[in-house]
């Protein structure tokens, strides 16, 4: 299997998404762009800490930033998520086919386990 650099964009996005605070920030930004102050008010942490989380999200491309006067506004950038979805698609196809196969097996099994032809232990029953 080929080695990938640790600094690939996919690795950076997965690293950013590994943090629950950054995922929550992305959830907030799904409602539309917001200023650092607006975002910071939603968290029990100092504004510089929120800014650091936003920097990680910005550096991997998950959020875009626009400066207006003295304020910076952030918005979700969808491309890195589309790239992840493309990377994950083969895994989804793999598991869908396995789940269909499992469903086929389950459909052939009796609904009541007592109806199955399970082997009985010697001496059990009459």
Q: For the chain, what are the domain ranges?
A: 9-77, 80-106
CATH domain 9-77 topology: Arc Repressor Mutant, subunit A (1.10.10)
Task: Give the Å distances, CA to CA, from 11 to 7, 40, 105.
Answer: 6, 26, 37
**pLDDT at position 76, please?**
97
Q: Rounded to two decimals, what is the model's pTM?
A: 0.67
Q: What is the 3-state secondary structure (H, E, C) of 8-77?
A: CHHHHHHHHHCCHHHHHHHHHHCCCCEEHHHHHCCCCCCHHHHHHHHHHHHHCCCEEEEEECCEEEEEEC
**pLDDT at position 119, please?**
60
In order along the chain (126 residues), what is the average pLDDT of each group of 10 residues? 57 94 97 95 93 97 96 94 84 83 87 65 57
Contact 10, 84 (CB under 8 A): yes
């Amino acid at each position: 299997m080929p080695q990938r650099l640790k600094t690939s964009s996919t690795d950076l996005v997965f690293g950013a998404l590994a943090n629950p605070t950054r995922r929550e920030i992305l959830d907030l930004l799904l409602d539309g762009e917001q200023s650092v102050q607006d975002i910071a008010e939603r968290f029990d942490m100092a504004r510089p800490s929120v800014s650091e989380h936003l920097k990680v999200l910005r550096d991997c491309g998950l959020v875009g930033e626009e400066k207006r006067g003295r304020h910076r506004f952030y918005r979700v950038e969808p491309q890195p998520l589309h790239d992840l979805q493309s990377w994950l698609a083969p895994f989804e196809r793999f598991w869908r086919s396995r789940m269909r196969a499992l469903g086929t097996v389950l459909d052939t099994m009796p609904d009541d386990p007592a109806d199955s032809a399970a082997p009985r232990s010697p001496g059990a029953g009459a």
